Structure 1
Amino acid sequence: MRILVLYCHPSPASYGAALHETVVASLRAAGHEVDDCDLYAEDFQPVLSRQERLGYHDLAHNTEPVADDVRRLREAEALVLVFPVWNFGFPALLKGYLDRVFLPGVSFGLVDGRTRGILTNIRRVGVVTSYGATRWRAFLMGDPPRRFCTRVLRAVTGFKAPVDYLAHYDMNRSTDGSRATFRTRVYDCFSRW
């Protein structure tokens, strides 16, 4: 399978970087072709410009500013996101990617004013993330990243792609052991894809 890995963390020495490395290694070991997109290393520009917003629904031209990113997404058969949860949300760079690349005509279509997922080339979705908060605190806050990944990402694939959501909660009190155990869990999950 051709898998697009979207990685978003500014520090190459972070636990997030170690998780990213684990994801890519496990997918490659399983024989997949990995398109490894490091949003920071690729200097992705996250701001949806005024001009882009004005042309948002112009299906003939709305992808032009992010044509290469759209091509990569359309060529993928699976999608894996690797990111930390900050302030109970996505890092700004990843949110900007979603705003600029998941466009009408790319990830969804409008039929009689209602959206319909059209990113049907994506047959599987994976998410690897970490939270400073406990699972309970994230739940009380509504856990927006989990809801987006397990609901919206499934919807844009036409509800055909199952989602593996792997989260290491309570990073503020994590240990070497808890982090190693979680990396093993990540490796095991993606090596079975």
Structure 2
Amino acid sequence: MNRALVLFAHPLAESFSAAVHRTAVETLQRNGWQVDDCDLYGEGFDPVLSPDERRHYHDEAVNTVPVAGHVERLRAAEALVLVFPVWNFGYPAILKGYLDRVFLPGVSFGMTDGRVGGCLHNIRRLAAVTHYGTTRLRAAVLGDPPRRSVTRHLRAVVHPRAKTRYLALYDMNRADDVRRRAFLGRVTRQMESF
């Protein structure tokens, strides 16, 4: 059975993000995935990189100790799915903090002779499912940092041939029920073929 780690980053159970999250998880499970559902808010994940963690950031013998459980979950996954809203043209702070604290040297990347290379070759499928308050055009004009982060930065640390999907609902501030339902349908279809 394939194992997917789903990282969910929204504090409200009644939010559209929560509906997207449920849709992704339930679809993956229906299609035979074993899902490790990591609700960062629900689990009380601390996104703050402590001074001691930063001090030992490059020491691979000890850098994972504060987040050992999360590192283990990440290393056990064959797929990584991020479900989050775009806030201020970026990740919610809790998700950014997860990346800062868990995607460590020796975990997500390594250095050999001064060259950086990805280490998460166990991740063969990568997806982000998100929504923006603004239009796609405005996001593009501003560089669309979340899309670039997923499709470039995260893509660079997983398996070199990992299938990558970025599903986004733009202009959420003006999306009606029809558009929101259509997006949930798109999430279902994409997770069915994931």
Superposition TM-score, scaled by structure 2 size: 0.98
Deviations along 1:168-190, one digit per CA (max 9) or x if unpaired, are 00001000000000000000110
Q: One-letter code of the match for 2:173?
A: N
**Structure 1 match to 2:190:** 189
**Structure 2 match to 1:163:** 164
**Structure 2 match to 1:134:** 135
1:97 and 2:98 are equivalent in the alignment: yes
Q: Which runs of 5+ in 2 are unaligned?
A: none
Pairwise CA distance, 1:104: 0.2
Pairwise CA distance, 1:13: 0.4
Deviations along 1:74-122, one digit per CA (max 9) or x if unpaired, are 0000000000000000000000000000000000001122210010000
**Structure 2 match to 1:174:** 175
Pairwise CA distance, 1:191: 1.1
Pairwise CA distance, 1:160: 2.1
**Structure 2 match to 1:122:** 123
**Structure 1 match to 2:75:** 74
Deviations along 1:6-58, one digit per CA (max 9) or x if unpaired, are 00001100000000000001000101100000000000000000100010011
Pairwise CA distance, 1:154: 1.1
Whether the 8 Å contact between 1:120 and 1:160 is mirrored in structure 2 is: no
**Structure 2 match to 1:39:** 40
Q: One-letter code of the match for 1:41?
A: G
**Structure 1 match to 2:56:** 55
Whether the 8 Å contact between 2:122 and 2:159 is mirrored in structure 1 is: no
CA distance in 1: counterparts of 2:113 and 2:137, whole angstroms: 39
Question: Partner of 1:40: helix, strand, or coil?
Answer: coil
**Structure 1 match to 2:65:** 64
Pairwise CA distance, 1:161: 1.1
CA distance in 1: counterparts of 2:157 and 2:127, whole angstroms: 14
Whether the 8 Å contact between 2:4 and 2:77 is mirrored in structure 1 is: yes
Among all aligned residue pairs of Structure 1 and Structure 2, give the percentage whose two residues are the same amino acid: 61
CA distance in 1: counterparts of 2:55 and 2:99, whole angstroms: 17
CA distance in 2: counterparts of 1:51 and 1:82, whole angstroms: 29
CA distance in 2: counterparts of 1:85 and 1:175, whole angstroms: 18
Q: CA RMSD in A?
A: 0.6
Whether the 8 Å contact between 1:81 and 1:126 is mirrored in structure 2 is: yes
CA distance in 2: counterparts of 1:158 and 1:34, whole angstroms: 19
Q: One-letter code of the match for 2:127?
A: G
| Number of positions where the alignment pairs a residue of Structure 1 with one of Structure 2 | 193
CA distance in 2: counterparts of 1:185 and 1:158, whole angstroms: 25
CA distance in 1: counterparts of 2:97 and 2:115, whole angstroms: 23
Question: Partner of 2:58: helix, strand, or coil?
Answer: coil
Pairwise CA distance, 1:158: 4.1
